[in-house]
A and B are shown apart, each in its own frame.
Chain A
């Protein structure tokens, strides 16, 4: 049962991360490889606020989301000067810089030793201590994100974003401000990823930098590619498939040191094959260009 709950928590967290990447990549067409940056910022910021600064969860969560928004704004300022491949390189550089900060700023993040002793959150006196209650909270938040996402996808803003994705010059000539719209999308995406990061921090109670390296960004991107992007169901399907893959390998009974790389080999091949045969992914509306 604990195992099923663990998988459900993971699906909830990665569902949110895939949705976050979907806003930038699937709607904005901005191929960013920095999703894990905001995931990490969320995790460390929540950890720092709740442990070092001693804030309650009710204060630390909103503050973390606000911090994610701020980081997303700075990120937009630094990277929206670029488009296409140059944008991707810039996001990779940001991801590398962020990892360097997580890893080397030992006074705050604990560096390679990690940040321990993060407590489960409590709200109005109720502590989400048991696996069941925490899982319910994560799934509820993921569901809420889905509902908000559904709402977002029908707004004028999402339409403007999709127009920009298809043809930036044409969209600009219609009066859509490219950089302002893209920046708003990146901020929204960062807020969602930071929320997932904060939840992750209280779930595992210990964060270390290896979970927020560029490989994690690639993994989240792979969810979008496999499931498809530009709508709500694609990323969720992708997250479910890529999370089920290692579990399936485990049931076959492979040793862990082979199963880990093998999982990555399978999803690497999936990327190549899907890009060739089905660039929109299994259930997506948008093919990355």
Chain B
């Protein structure tokens, strides 16, 4: 029982991290109608910028975080101006842009591999203290991960739901031509979606890399977690993405309860896929017209 409680707590922390990633993936996906594979690149760029600032340049942590977020924002703008915007101007199909985005992920992770090496890099840090909440023990970093990611996910959700620019992002995804006809500031909307996406990906990236380190090829795994969570929750529903992430985190915890921990990812993905097969629209997905059915 105590083990189960502990695993549920770990699952909640993992769920909060993945919720941010799913939102970072989903906002770009929802606004551009592009499968944002380069989200994985965004993740590793933030991690390695943090590593370069904190471990190589020996900056204080707070400064290193700012540097990493700035680098991540610059990378998001590079993706937008060098790839996504030209593809959108040319009205390239979604699959075409997705493969270009996959190309960007491959290029990025290998540039990082050449620069920093293929092996796992960790940022040296003092051991994190741990806190007991009843039978559950969490490290201080885990508490931070949960609090910061849950808060960021909630705030970004409010921005998306309430602000003018957030609604404009959704409108762009629904009717790109109408958005153009209405003279909405497309450039600004697109840049906002990319930057908000970059922030939502980078914050969990930094917190994960501070904990377990990083390797240049981990982007694909996080992309899969984020996209799986987003599609599981319902691909057009912001709060659904959070629910999908929570389901993924708890499924991983449930697996570890009964099986050796190396099966966590494998079995959790299989479980989610199994549920999704019976509900292809995702938990909170809405029905669509036949010609745009998923």
Contacts and interface: CB of A to CB of B under 8 A. Distances in A.
Interface residues of A, number: 46
A81 interface: yes
A275 B96 contact: yes
A271 B110 CA distance: 14
Interface string B238-278: 00000000000000000000001011011101101110110
Contact of A86 (B103, B231, B269, B290): B231
A100 B96 contact: no
Nearest to B114: A261
Interface string B68-109: 000000000000000100110010111111111011111101
A277 to B, nearest CB: 10
Contact of A83 (B224, B277, B294): B294
Contact of A225 (B83, B90, B99, B269): B99
A94 B103 contact: no
Interface string B280-293: 10000000001101
Given A82-B280, A89-B231, A272 B103 contact: yes
B111 interface: yes
Nearest to A275: B100
Interface string A250-282: 000000011001101101111110011001000
Nearest to B217: A215
A218 interface: yes
A97 B270 CA distance: 6
A288 B96 contact: yes
A214 B218 CA distance: 12
A96 B280 contact: no
Secondary structure at the B interface, as helix, strand, loop or mixed, is helix
- Residue from the set A81, A83, A86 with the largest chain B CB neighbour count within 10 Å: A86
A117 B227 CA distance: 39
Interface residues of B, number: 53
Contacts of B93: 279, 287-289
A276 B106 contact: no
B224 A270 contact: no
Contacts of B114: 258, 261-262, 265
Given A169-B290, A275-B92, A276-B90, A85 B280 contact: no
B228 interface: yes
B235 interface: yes
A65 to B, nearest CB: 25
B280 to A, nearest CB: 5
Nearest to B34: A85
Nearest to A263: B110
Interface string A107-130: 000000000000000000000000
A265 B110 contact: yes
B95 to A, nearest CB: 4
B35 A85 contact: yes
5 closest Cβ pairs, A-B complex: A100-B266, A271-B103, A268-B106, A268-B107, A261-B110
Given A96-B269, A268-B105, A271-B102, 19 more contacts: A81-B280, A82-B280, A84-B294, A85-B98, A93-B269, A94-B273, A96-B224, A169-B290, A225-B99, A257-B118, A262-B114, A264-B110, A267-B103, A269-B103, A271-B99, A271-B106, A272-B83, A276-B86, A288-B96
Interface of B: 29, 35, 83, 86-87, 90, 92-100, 102-107, 109-111, 113-114, 118, 217, 220-221, 224, 227-228, 231, 235, 260, 262-263, 265-267, 269-270, 272-274, 276-277, 280, 290-291, 293-294
30 contacts: A82-B294, A85-B98, A85-B231, A86-B231, A86-B280, A86-B294, A89-B227, A93-B228, A96-B221, A96-B269, A97-B269, A100-B265, A100-B266, A103-B262, A104-B260, A214-B220, A218-B102, A258-B114, A262-B110, A264-B106, A264-B107, A265-B106, A265-B111, A270-B103, A276-B92, A279-B96, A288-B96, A289-B93, A289-B94, A289-B96
